[in-house]
Amino acid sequence: MESALGLKFIRCLLRHGKKSEARRILSEALRIVSRRLPHRTPEQILEQAVNNRVQSLRIAGIPIIPQPLLELTAVLAALQNGEQLKGRAIQSITKAAARRKERTPAARLAAEIYEAYLGPQGPEDPLRAVEAISRHVTYDRRSG
């Protein structure tokens, strides 16, 4: 995969300068995910997975660029902010894949890309966590 996003993934997977190993892991992971989603190309799967992870990072409110800088150069900062978020999303996917229990690195990465492709769900979804907290706070206000 020679797209810009694929190259970012390869750089993030790179260990001890073994670029061919990182390429092999990514291509095998995308092959595994493509079997689960036959109607999508690997590029579409990877793009959607990263976009979904970017959305969950935005919901979580991770600060990327200091506010004064954002006010000075709004257009440039917005572009940089998007690239930084994509980079953090890729790091998030690869770090979460490293913590998984699957047997091979490609299987771990494939499982994490697939979950990111499906979007935020479950207890790690920051939006649901915020909703649960707000319901709890509303309940406390009514009872007190």
Which pLDDT score is estimated for 130? 47
Q: Grade residue 45 by pLDDT with cuts at 50, 70 and 90.
A: very high
Q: In the predicted model, what is the mean pLDDT of residues 73-96?
A: 72
Q: Grade residue 29 by pLDDT with cuts at 50, 70 and 90.
A: very high
**Helix, strand or coil for residue 81?**
helix
Which pLDDT score is estimated for 106? 92
Which pLDDT score is estimated for 134? 47
CB burial of 39-49 (b: ≥16 within 10 Å; e: otherwise) equals eeebeebbbbb
Please check the confidence at residue 131 and state whether its pLDDT lies above 60: no
Domain boundaries, the chain: 4-143
Which contacts qualify for 56-61: CB closer than 8 Å, 24 or more apart?
A: 56/120, 56/125, 56/126, 56/127, 57/85, 57/88, 57/89, 57/92, 58/85, 59/120, 59/126, 59/127, 59/130, 60/126
Which pLDDT score is estimated for 88? 83
Torsions phi, psi for 73 (to 5 deg): -125, 75
The tokens describing 102, both together, are 């699957």
- Of 1.10.455.10, 3.20.20.140, 1.10.3720.10, 1.10.10.10, which CATH number belongs to 4-143? 1.10.455.10
Q: In the predicted model, what is the mean pLDDT of residues 54-62?
A: 67
Please check the confidence at residue 15 and state whether its pLDDT lies above 80: no
